[in-house]
Chains A and B, each alone.
Chain A
Amino acid sequence: MDWGPLILTFQLALVTTTILLLISIPLALWLVNSRSKIKPVIETLVSMPLVLPPTVLGFYFLIAFSPSNAFGHFLDQYLGLKLVFSFGGLVVASVIYSLPFMVHPIQSGLSGLSPSLTEAAYVLGKSRLQTLLRVQLPNIKSSLLTGVILAFAHTVGEFGVVLMIGGSIPGQTKVASIAIYEEVEAMNYAAANFYSIVLFIITFLILLLVYTSNGGYIKRLWK
């Protein structure tokens, strides 16, 4: 059996989730605190991947990143980035595609904290960064965990975006969901079943982890 597509899938999910975590914390913080007029627009954009067919997203990425267009040409020429049919392109697309799954839990965690906690830290002379790292984030651990796991699982499950922008280059962009599709097309049901069952079990375990940990089961077992 070829484990390549599965390994690639989890590499992609890991890189995507790490980048998402770093982007989503400041973005969620801004969404919670901002009274800016463009806030609803940003919120809408963040949520768009929830409702838009992934192929729409993939189609526009394909157009935008294509070296024959100005933006793609710029990336290729000046930054040496080829985002069409490459792992890098998949990462960028996955980050945007899974953004709401990371931002929403963090945003609701932060807005659920009493504002007096951050105010108390400020009055005690602590900077915004110190307050974020030592007061806000430690108190929304379960939201962070939910965000990490949902973003990871969602990236594992993506298909349309990858199909549009990644193609199916083994070791580069041929992730498990694409491999399943191709094996089915080739009537190779045993291989399709192998990829499917591994994905099924792993995503089941991941989601089970979210619900047990947020329900406090793990915490109770730990003690």
Chain B
Amino acid sequence: MIKLDLHKRLHSAEGEMNLAVDITIERGEFVCLYGESGAGKTSILRMMAGLMLPDHGTIEVAGRSWYNAQPGTNLSPQERHLGMVFQDYALFPHMTVRENLEFALKKHQHNDVIQHLIEIVGLGSLQDRKPETLSGGQKQRVAIARALVPRPSILLLDEPLSALDNKIRIQLQDYLLALHREFELTTILISHDLSEIFKLAQRVIHIRQGQVIRQGTPSDLFIDQEVSGKFKFAGEVVAIEAQEVLYIITVLIQSQMVKVVAEASEVSRLKIGDQVIVASKAFNPLIYKIEA
């Protein structure tokens, strides 16, 4: 279990801000920190990793104190043994993909974990390449794999997927879910993307101006009216077309375009680019077996 009680005066572009959060995260949870940029999400991750010193408060992980302002405990980043994926990937430019992973090995750690990780994230054919020759998605896979080499129990991800296109994002989300389970991680992810949050996070912590304003499951937070739908998918409105009496709304759900019929009253609240939930309630969906 992770208990954070963090206080820090931050200087941002919009002036000074007081960060004050009290967060508890269960072991094995997949948590998403959600909020506008400049809300203090990255600072929370940096304080957890020991890269930023809080003004006061406590950090306690699995019963051990990592930081406590009062007796003056403060473990160094090296002593915290967590995995972190940076927004700019932070791959070492002078090392190949494989060397980047090997660098992350602990003393006397057997290197078979490297081969395993290379296979899981599909880096086999890229392992002798230098980072500068990789695409964004490939770099991200290396960064995630490298963070997991020392087998941390906590993984921190600072908007890891925001710079990637949709198809690669979805693939990486699948990798993240698989790794979260296989490595029995407690994962904390910063994300703005609703469909990503719905897919990955068990709990969302909404942060605004350095404060936790709400937390709960993705549906608790982002769906106003109670939908007891059998099917729910988050997506983005990409087109709204008027057709005689009805409207057809095209929603991008992950990488698929879905067309949904809507009435004028519903359309009036929507515009292109809105994040929406598509749910089916009354009808029983049809199931077709996919023949291989």
Contact = CB atoms under 8 A, between A and B. Distances in A.
Nearest to A135: B92
Contacts of B88: 114, 116
B76 interface: yes
Interface in A128-165: 134-135, 138-139
A98 B84 CA distance: 41
A139 B51 CA distance: 21
Interface string A117-136: 10111111111000000110
A134 B103 CA distance: 9
Nearest to A138: B94
Interface string B45-73: 00001110000000000000000000000
Contacts of A135: 92
Interface string A65-84: 00000000000000000000
Contact of B51 (A119, A124, A126, A138): A119
Contacts of B212: none
B106 interface: yes
A145 to B, nearest CB: 14
Contacts of A127: 78
Contacts of B273: none
A126 B94 contact: no
B104 interface: yes
B94 A139 contact: yes
Contacts of B122: none
B176 interface: no
Interface residues of A, number: 16
Given A122-B51, A123-B84, A124-B103, A117 B92 contact: yes
A119 B50 CA distance: 10
B86 A120 contact: yes
A141 to B, nearest CB: 8
B78 A116 contact: no
A128 B87 CA distance: 22
Nearest to A119: B51
Interface string B87-107: 110101110000000011010
B170 interface: no
Nearest to B106: A125
A125 B94 contact: no
Nearest to A114: B88
Contacts of A122: 50-51, 76-78
Interface in B142-185: 146-147, 149-150
B81 interface: yes
Given A122-B76, A125-B106, A134-B103, A116 B90 contact: yes
Contacts of B87: 116
B90 A119 contact: yes
B113 to A, nearest CB: 13
B51 A123 contact: yes
Contacts of B51: 119, 122-123
Contact of B84 (A120, A134, A139): A120
Contacts of A125: 78, 81, 106, 150
B82 interface: yes
Nearest to B52: A119
A144 B106 CA distance: 29
B77 A123 contact: yes
A126 B78 contact: yes
Contacts of A123: 49-51, 77-78, 80, 82-84, 147
Contacts of B77: 119, 122-123
B228 to A, nearest CB: 43
A126 to B, nearest CB: 7
A138 B78 CA distance: 21
**Max chain A CB contacts within 10 Å: which of B78, B94, B149?**
B78
Contacts of A114: 88, 90
Contacts of B94: 138-139
Nearest to A124: B104
Nearest to A117: B90
B188 to A, nearest CB: 14
Nearest to A137: B94
22 contacts: A114-B88, A114-B90, A116-B87, A119-B86, A119-B90, A121-B92, A122-B76, A122-B78, A123-B77, A123-B78, A123-B80, A123-B82, A123-B147, A124-B103, A124-B146, A124-B150, A125-B106, A125-B150, A126-B103, A127-B78, A134-B103, A139-B93
Closest 7 pairs (CB-CB, A-B): A116-B90, A120-B90, A122-B77, A116-B86, A138-B94, A123-B84, A124-B104
Given A116-B86, A123-B83, 7 more contacts: A114-B90, A116-B90, A119-B86, A119-B90, A122-B50, A123-B84, A138-B94
